[in-house]
């Protein structure tokens, strides 16, 4: 094996190891600031768990626990206030749903209004796969359109093949 090939393999191996290490080291980081935390560790743990279930309405794909947006911070503080008032997790979620709608929850409830959120991606994927399947099925069944050669093209072909015009 040449030195160049061995060198490339080593280089690719190092890059793969570096990429895996970087990806494995990157985990979700909590955006909770020290001034937001509750004094009681049990209540704080509950607030953090609840924060992972509530969507940041600015970031839209992050929980309020992971978002640095100002609205996420306000929601984290609100959740902690409601916990200190003695509200249960379900009551806090109901409060936020009444205020912001079902979208505020990262896992919206299963009900007719949210069926599109739950089943929409699967339906779109299935329809896309069906469309691609029909396209290739029709393409395979349809014979290629045969075009007749013009008189000039037929003459040139006959010349190439060494045939005379009266044989064609």
In a structure prediction context, what are the per-residue pLDDT tens digits for the chain, which is 168 residues long?
555 556 666 666 666 766 666 665 444 445 666 667 888 889 889 999 999 999 998 887 899 998 888 999 999 999 999 999 999 999 999 999 999 988 898 888 888 888 887 899 999 999 999 999 999 988 887 777 778 889 999 899 999 998 765 554
pLDDT at 90: 93
For the whole model, what pTM was predicted?
A: 0.54
Three-state SS at 63: strand
Find out whether 128 and 134 touch, Cβ atoms under 8 Å: no
Find out whether 52 and 67 touch, Cβ atoms under 8 Å: no
pLDDT at 88: 94
DSSP letters along 119-143, please? HHHHHHHHHHHHHHHHHHHHHHHSP
pLDDT at 19: 67
pLDDT at 2: 57
Burial (CB < 10 A; 0-12, 13-18, 19+), residue 105, is middle
Find out whether 31 and 68 touch, Cβ atoms under 8 Å: yes
């Amino acid at each position: 094996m040449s030195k160049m090939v061995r060198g490339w393999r080593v280089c690719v191996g190092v890059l793969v190891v570096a990429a895996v290490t970087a990806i494995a080291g990157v985990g979700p980081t909590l955006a909770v600031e020290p001034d937001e935390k509750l004094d009681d560790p049990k209540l704080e743990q509950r607030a953090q768990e609840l924060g992972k279930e509530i969507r940041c309405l600015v970031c839209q794909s992050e929980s309020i626990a992971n978002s640095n947006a100002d609205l996420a911070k306000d929601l984290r503080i609100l959740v902690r206030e409601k916990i200190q008032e003695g509200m249960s997790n379900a009551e806090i979620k109901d409060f936020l749903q009444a205020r912001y709608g079902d979208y505020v929850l990262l896992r919206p409830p299963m009900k007719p209004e949210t069926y599109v959120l739950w089943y929409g991606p699967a339906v779109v994927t299935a329809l896309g796969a069906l469309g691609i399947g029909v396209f290739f099925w029709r393409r395979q069944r349809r014979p290629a359109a045969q075009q007749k050669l013009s008189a000039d093209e037929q003459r040139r072909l006959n010349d190439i093949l060494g045939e005379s015009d009266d044989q064609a």
